[in-house]
């Protein structure tokens, strides 16, 4: 059949729309029918031997419109702060339905401030006033714009980092209106480098924590105390982008990461960090430090442009309250960080024992199931090269096909592939989801 005959066999837009039953307005159905027919005509022109059924194509797209795209997944990768899976898994919280007192002071009956819902909690947790903006990059931008806009900010060459999605410190500094002054070398910077770079245009000394990389070997940089002392001597604030926002000492669990309290104690004037990393909350940028600096940031017009939505505030307020109560097990990130490898081994053993033996199944799982030692990652641009011991369910066979089947399951289960084997790490799986993972693996085996 030639192309002209194939074109003639296609229904009109109106005919196709009339044959479609669905819960959407007719104009939506007509638009989808028009797009589907245009797509099929393009396939005919390209000489495609296989053409989709127009009605089936429209029904598929109507079904896609009718279901939520943002859904819960089970993270079995072992990466705790998985950027593609929303970084920190949220603690349970109940957003207020309908209206809420977002910017209304119930005590006075007057207009309030939306960050009042979190300011007291942050003050108690951090020991310093703090404000929230919509992410870590926004926090850096606001700090630089307010403290160094129209002037110069001094930073070590070894800290001109790039993080996820092409976000580079030099680019954000340029956009903020601050002129970048690089000092030192990639691997070594001395306090004299900062001192010698100070001019009448200097507005800020900046320190950036290398959240997603590490330079080793012949390295060195000034301590925070040295930089803070220089800043006080010359009347220049010291700002540190701390990145992961570690509240508590995690060294007992094998993670060495500077804390916010340590930086404040060292004399840093302003610190920024992310809310969805080691804090364990929703996406947000947190700025804390000297009261007079926080006051300046709050009055900057950009603060309004970068402010948080009520749903994020509700999630953050809930997380901060749990952290203040030291209820670590209720905050998923902290619970996962604190899981001992022996406890994970018990869960892995239970899962593997519940699977059918190799001789009883015909799927890919029958080929090779092992329990192996492994390492969990923190991920999310934090604590580079630091991992936690874990136990893995390791599956041989067609790893790519099995990974795809798990990814398309309900709910989706996200695993990882290494050296041709499918690996599942239960550290990042909620214990209550173990039966769902078991059921999905049993389905693969059958």
Domain of 357, CATH number, reads 3.90.1150.180
Same domain, 175 and 306: yes
Q: What is the mean pLDDT of residues 342-356?
A: 93
Q: The domain containing residue 199 runs over which residues?
A: 113-328
Q: Which residue has the tokens 């795809």?
A: 404
Six-digit token string for 56: 């089936």
Same domain, 250 and 225: yes
pLDDT surpasses 70 at 140: yes
- Say what the pLDDT of residue 166 is: 61
Write out pLDDT tens, residues 222-246.
999 999 999 999 999 999 999 888 9
Same domain, 348 and 303: no
* Residue 123, CA distances (Å) to 120, 261, 365, 412 in order: 5, 12, 52, 39
Six-digit token string for 336: 């996962």
- Domain annotation covers residue 180: yes
Same domain, 253 and 142: yes
Q: Number of structural domains, the chain?
A: 3
- Domain annotation covers residue 333: no
Could you say which of 305, 328, 351 is where a domain stops? 328
pLDDT surpasses 50 at 346: yes
73-82, 361-370, 404-413: range with lowest mean pLDDT: 361-370
Q: Considering the chain, what is the average pLDDT of its residues? A: 91
Q: What is the mean pLDDT of residues 341-349?
A: 97
Same domain, 176 and 264: yes
- Say what the pLDDT of residue 364 is: 44
Rounded to whole angstroms, how far apart are CA atoms 390 and 279? 22
pLDDT surpasses 90 at 87: yes
- DSSP letters, 269-292, are SEEEEESSSTT-SSS-EEEEE-HH
Could you say which of 299, 328, 357 is where a domain stops? 328
Same domain, 292 and 380: no
Same domain, 294 and 180: yes
Rounded to whole angstroms, how far apart are CA atoms 334 and 388? 13
- Say what the pLDDT of residue 386 is: 81
- What is the pLDDT confidence band of residue 437, given thresholds at 50, 70 and 90? very high
Q: What is the mean pLDDT of residues 436-441?
A: 95
Q: List, in order, residues 6 or more apart from 152 with CB less than 8 Å away.
A: 178, 179, 180, 181, 199, 201, 202, 203, 204
Q: What is the mean pLDDT of residues 179-189?
A: 88
Write out pLDDT tens, residues 197-228.
999 999 999 999 876 566 666 678 899 999 99
- Say what the pLDDT of residue 214 is: 63
Write out pLDDT tens, residues 151-177.
999 999 888 776 655 667 778 877 888
- What is the pLDDT confidence band of residue 393, given thresholds at 50, 70 and 90? very high
Residue 79 near residue 428 (C-beta atoms within 8 A): yes
Q: Which residue has the tokens 């022996």?
A: 342
Percent of the chain whose pLDDT exceeds 70: 93
Same domain, 197 and 259: yes
- What is the pLDDT confidence band of residue 392, given thresholds at 50, 70 and 90? very high
Q: What is the mean pLDDT of residues 62-73?
A: 92
Residue 352 near residue 369 (C-beta atoms within 8 A): yes
Same domain, 50 and 148: no
Quote the pTM value: 0.88
- Domain annotation covers residue 128: yes
- Domain annotation covers residue 102: no
- Give the rounded distance of the alpha carbon of 124 from its chain centre: 25
Radius of gyration, CA atoms only, the chain: 27
Write out pLDDT tens, residues 250-263.
889 888 888 999 99
- What is the pLDDT confidence band of residue 39, given thresholds at 50, 70 and 90? very high
Rounded to whole angstroms, how far apart are CA atoms 198 and 205? 9
Same domain, 272 and 133: yes
- Domain annotation covers residue 369: yes
- Say what the pLDDT of residue 379 is: 85
DSSP single-letter state for residue 79: B
Write out pLDDT tens, residues 268-323.
999 999 999 999 999 999 999 999 999 999 999 999 999 999 999 999 999 999 99
Six-digit token string for 204: 């800020």
Domain of 268, CATH number, reads 3.40.640.10
- Say what the pLDDT of residue 366 is: 52
Residue 103: phi and psi, rounded to 5, are -130, 45
Could you say which of 278, 296, 328 is where a domain stops? 328
* CA-based end-to-end distance of the chain: 42
- Domain annotation covers residue 104: no
Same domain, 152 and 22: no
- Domain annotation covers residue 92: no
How many CB atoms neighbour CB 173 within 10 A?
Answer: 24
Residue 90 near residue 69 (C-beta atoms within 8 A): no
Same domain, 16 and 44: yes
- Domain annotation covers residue 146: yes
């Amino acid at each position: 059949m030639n192309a002209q005959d194939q074109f003639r066999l296609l229904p009109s837009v109106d005919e196709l729309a009339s044959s479609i039953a669905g819960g959407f307005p007719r104009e939506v159905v007509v638009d989808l029918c028009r797009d589907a027919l245009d797509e099929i005509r393009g396939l005919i022109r390209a000489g495609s031997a296989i053409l989709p059924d127009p009605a089936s194509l429209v029904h598929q797209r109507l079904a896609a419109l009718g279901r939520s795209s943002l859904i819960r997944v089970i993270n079995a990768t072992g990466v705790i702060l998985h950027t593609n899976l929303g970084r920190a898994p949220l603690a349970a919280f109940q957003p207020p339905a309908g209206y809420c007192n977002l910017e209304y002071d119930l005590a006075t009956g007057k207009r309030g401030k939306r960050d009042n819902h979190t300011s007291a909690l942050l003050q108690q947790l951090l020991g310093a006033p703090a404000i929230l903006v919509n992410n870590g990059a926004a926090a850096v931008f606001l700090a630089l714009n307010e403290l160094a806009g129209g002037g110069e900010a001094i930073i070590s060459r070894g800290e001109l980092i790039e993080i996820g999605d092409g976000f580079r410190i030099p680019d954000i500094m340029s956009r903020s209106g601050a002129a970048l002054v690089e000092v030192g070398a990639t691997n070594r910077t001395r306090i004299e480098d900062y001192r010698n770079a100070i001019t009448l245009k200097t507005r800020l000394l900046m320190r950036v924590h290398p959240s997603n990389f590490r330079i080793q070997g012949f390295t060195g940089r000034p301590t925070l105390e040295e930089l803070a002392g220089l800043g006080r001597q010359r009347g220049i604030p010291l700002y540190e982008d701390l990145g992961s926002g570690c509240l508590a000492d995690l060294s007992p669990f094998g993670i060495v990461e500077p804390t916010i309290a340590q930086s404040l104690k060292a004399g840093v004037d302003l610190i920024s960090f992310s809310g969805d990393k080691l804090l364990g909350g929703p996406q947000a940028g947190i700025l804390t430090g000297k009261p007079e600096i926080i006051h300046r940031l709050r009055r900057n017009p950009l603060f309004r442009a970068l402010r948080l939505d009520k749903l994020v505030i509700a999630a953050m307020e809930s997380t901060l309250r749990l952290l203040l109560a030291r209820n670590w097990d209720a905050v998923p990130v902290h619970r996962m960080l604190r899981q001992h490898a022996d406890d994970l081994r018990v869960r892995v053993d239970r899962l593997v024992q519940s699977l059918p033996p190799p001789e009883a199944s015909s799927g890919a799982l029958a080929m090779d199931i092992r329990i192996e030692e492994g390492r969990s990652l923190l991920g999310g641009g934090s604590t580079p090269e630091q991992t936690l011991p874990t136990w893995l369910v390791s599956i041989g066979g067609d790893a790519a096909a099995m990974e795809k089947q798990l990814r398309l399951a309900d709910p989706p289960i996200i695993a990882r592939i290494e050296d041709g084997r499918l690996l599942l790490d239960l550290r990042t799986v909620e214990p209550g989801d173990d039966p769902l993972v078991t059921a999905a693996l049993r389905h693969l085996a059958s």
